[in-house]
Amino acid sequence: MNWQKYVRTVTPYVPGEQPKQEKMIKLNTNECPYPPAPGVMEGVTRLNGASLRLYPDPDVGALTGGLADYHGVKKEQVFVGVGSDDVLALAFLTFFNSDRPILFPDITYSFYDVWANLYRIGYQTIPLDEDFRMRAVDYQRENGGIIFPNPNAPTGVEEAQSLIEEIVSSNTDSIVIVDEAYIDFGGTSCLSLIDRYSNLLVVRTFSKSRALAGLRIGYAIGNERLIGYLKDVRFSFNSYTMNLPAQEVGVASIVDEGYFNQCRQRIMATREWVKVELSRLGFTFPDSKGNFIFATHEQVPAAELFAFLKGEGIYVRYWQRPRIDNYLRITVGTDEEMRAFINALEGYLSKP
């Protein structure tokens, strides 16, 4: 058993539960409750055996070009990966290589510390304030890189553009990664800062607002030099990471802007209605700009509510972690799903 001492061990990321239960309401993994754009399935049907026989385009040219046009940047400023997790993992490996610790919030996407441990990157977690907000001054210290989500996951809090710019501008010797997985649900992107700051990388995903979590499409936008370094690392692993169906579907999703806007507006409208209902039932929560709400009840523990809801076939996310162990993260589903969720809570909370 001596070989075990040479194994790279790590505590893995634990994804949200993916139950296979009939008639359940799944509000635990921030998936879009609506199907992808109609053109997406048309893109799949255009595929044939001849095209699948060949390797896909290693440069993901059509999708990269479509994203560049959509965001008004150069094609050389776009990097595409297999979900934003893939993009972020490669960014950790590419940019966080100094002997100084990287910085990220103490309440944040729980994959960050996993990647840091996997790649043996030192890190420090910076406490959010009592309102779950970042303080720019906390990030004005020696570091080997900075990463944070905006809006935050799991709290949904959006940071002001002025704060983000202050962090980026005061850390020009390190890379700052802003994870914008939930930016399409009412947030303001910091992509406008890309041309002013060569050390800024913005990461996005198709999994949430574009309803394509099952196909794994993510991307980054930044300075051409940053993107070039990312591509060098990707091609050192696998030149053909994104399969052809995902590339075709990604392009089709970008084209249907009307459907994309319709879906995200529906989700935001439902979210605002659910906020009112949760407040009525005694919950408090930060103002979310994601497709979820991070809520705590004034009297009933989150663990108790989580267990009750699961017994009713309603899945939400719960973490037994410091500072957030009395909160539930609730994905915004369809109006019908959210009515059933609110009705279940109301019935439980009204019991003597």
CA distance linking residue 134 with residue 152, whole number of Å: 10
pLDDT band, very low/low/confident/very high, at 41 (cuts 50, 70, 90): confident
Q: Residue 84 to residues 157, 178, 245, 339: CA-CA distances in angstroms?
A: 20, 12, 17, 31
Per-residue pLDDT, 182: 98
Residue 344 is predicted with a pLDDT of: 98
pLDDT value for 332: 98
pLDDT band at 238 (very low <50, low <70, confident <90, very high): confident
Long-range contacts of 5-9 (CB under 8 A, 24+ apart): 8/118
Cβ(104)–Cβ(148) below 8 Å: yes
pLDDT over threshold 80, residue 12: yes
Enumerate domains of the chain plus CATH numbers.
2-35+258-349 (3.90.1150.10), 38-256 (3.40.640.10)
Contact 80, 67 (CB under 8 A): yes
- 176-179 and 200-205 as β-strands: parallel, antiparallel, unpaired? parallel
| Residues 6+ away with beta carbon under 8 Å from 324 | 107, 154, 294
pTM of the model: 0.95
Residue 166 is predicted with a pLDDT of 98
Read off the pLDDT band of 67 (50, 70, 90): very high
Using pLDDT thresholds of 50, 70 and 90, give the confidence band for residue 293: very high
The single-letter DSSP state of residue 183 is G
Res. 146: pLDDT tops 90? yes
Q: Is residue 137's pLDDT more than 90? A: yes
Q: Is 41 helix (H, G, I), strand (E, B) or coil?
A: helix
* Under 8 Å between Cβ of 88 and 95: no
